Every structure is written in structure tokens, then in C-alpha cells.
């Protein structure tokens, strides 16, 4: 835990986090459109329940997100390369984001229209996914960690 706090402190002082967050948000904007389109299709056309709709939309969007973030936001850390191990880590870390987003969606759907609940769940997902991507999946690696 101390290691993560030290990394957060250094990143904050270098302002690298703000630039990466902006890049992550731009990739996320396109990814959000993919996610939202898949969600609305599954909800309105396929008539699936909220949870399967949200999980399906996430599955459609996660591969695009990994590829784009590997080449842009976290390009220096990834070596601008796609790796199965990193993809697996990205998907696993994304599970935390989809759980947070789905929980938010379901709870807020009792109080707000589904579209508003979905949009707010995207914000929650952004916060969780960026944090895990920056500090876990695409962290700078030493020579021993760079296994393809």
C-alpha cells in the first residue's frame, strides 16, 4: 500500500496524471459511445435486463479501450505494443470498473431515468478504470517485468 501511495505522490507532483487522465478521457469518450450504443441496442432492441445489457456493452468496448490506451495514453509504458498479459490485466482490472458501473446503474435506476443512471455510471467507471490502468496495468516496468 505504501508503494501505491508513493507512486500517487510522485505522479501528482509531475502532473503526469492530469495529462494521462485527459488522454484516457478522450479515448474513453469514443469508448463511451461504443459502450452506450451497445447498451442501448441490447436494452431497446434485444430487450435484455439491465445487468446483461451493461456487461455485454462493456465486453464490446473493452478491447477497443485496451488497444487505444496501449497506443496513446499509456504508449510509453506499453512500448506502443499489445501484449496478451497486459490485455488480461486490463480486462481483469476492468471487471472492477464494470462492477462499480453496474452497481451504480442499478441503484440509480430506482431514482433516475435509465439513460441518466447509465451516464452517471460511466463517470464512476472512468474513475475506477483510470486509477487501475495507471497504477496497475500500465505501470512502468523494469527489464525483468517486460515479458511479452
pLDDT in tens, 3-17: 767 776 666 556 577
- Does the residue 52 lie in any domain? yes
Q: What is the total count of domains within the chain?
A: 1
Distance between CA atoms of residues 54 and 121, nearest Å: 10
Question: From CA 138, how far away is CA 22, in angstroms rounded?
Answer: 16
Q: Is residue 49 in a domain?
A: yes
Q: What is the pLDDT of residues 5-57, one digit of tens each?
A: 777 666 655 657 778 888 888 988 898 899 899 999 999 999 999 989 988 99
Q: How does residue 103 score in pLDDT terms, banded at 50, 70 and 90?
A: very high
| Domain presence at residue 67 | yes
In a domain? residue 37: yes
- In the DSSP assignment, the letter for residue 46 is S
Amino acid at each position: 500500500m505504501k508503494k501505491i501511495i508513493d507512486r500517487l505522490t510522485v505522479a501528482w507532483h509531475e502532473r503526469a496524471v492530469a495529462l494521462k487522465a485527459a488522454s484516457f478521457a478522450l479515448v474513453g469518450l469514443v469508448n463511451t459511445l461504443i459502450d452506450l450504443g451497445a447498451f442501448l441496442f441490447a436494452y431497446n432492441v434485444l430487450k435484455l435486463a439491465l445487468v446483461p445489457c451493461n456487461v455485454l456493452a462493456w465486453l464490446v468496448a473493452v478491447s477497443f479501450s485496451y488497444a487505444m490506451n496501449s497506443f496513446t495514453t499509456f504508449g510509453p509504458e506499453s512500448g506502443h505494443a499489445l501484449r496478451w498479459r497486459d490485455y488480461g490485466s486490463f480486462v481483469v482490472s476492468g471487471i472492477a470498473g464494470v462492477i462499480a458501473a453496474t452497481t451504480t446503474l442499478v441503484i440509480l435506476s430506482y431514482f433516475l431515468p435509465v439513460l441518466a443512471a447509465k451516464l452517471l455510471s460511466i463517470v464512476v467507471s472512468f474513475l475506477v478504470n483510470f486509477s487501475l490502468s495507471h497504477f496497475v496495468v500500465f505501470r512502468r516496468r523494469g527489464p525483468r517485468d517486460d515479458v511479452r
